[in-house]
Amino acid sequence: MNDKDLQNLVETVSLESFGKPFLHQAYFNARLRTTGGRYMLSSHHIEINKKYFEQLGMDELIGIIKHELCHYHLHLEGRGYKHRDQDFRLLLKKVGAPRFCSSLPDRPMRSQSKKVLIYACKECNQIYRRRRAVDTKRYVCGKCKGKLVLEKELTKD
């Protein structure tokens, strides 16, 4: 699928799902990494991440197009086009568009940190659990301003 095919698809989906024409441009943007698509407020163009089509197929692509067209049509009508607006959420439901796109299979999920660092204050024995290391030369106990020391490092299974 190329940009011309995408433009035709967006125009078709707009007429079928919204009953309104799409009068601007839709194209693939290879630089999009964390999102399926985006609606540009200033130019009214729609950019789509081609990886979503390649890895998840036509149904996912149409869902992303519907989502971006919700932003497009509401913005042009002067209604609430942002994710938190009720107009936007109602239109998403009406046309069957997803609120969020699926995650890509080739992009691994960021896993929770497996280690836990236990720090203790030398003065008052206050315990601090952290996932990231604390600079003990720079930071002190929040309770008594005493010196912090690394007690132990735990790893979760």
Q: Is 11 a catalytic residue?
A: no
In the chain, the amino acid numbered 49 is N
The residues, ordered by sequence, that sit 6+ positions from 14 with a Cβ below 8 Å of its Cβ are 20, 21, 22, 69, 72, 73
CA distance 4 to 8: 6
- Of 60, 68, 77, 151, which is the active-site residue? 68
Instruction: In whole angstroms, give the CA distance from residue 86 to residue 31.
Output: 30
**Taking Cα atoms as reference points, which of 10, 36, 17 lies closest to residue 95?**
17
Q: Which residues are catalytic?
A: 68
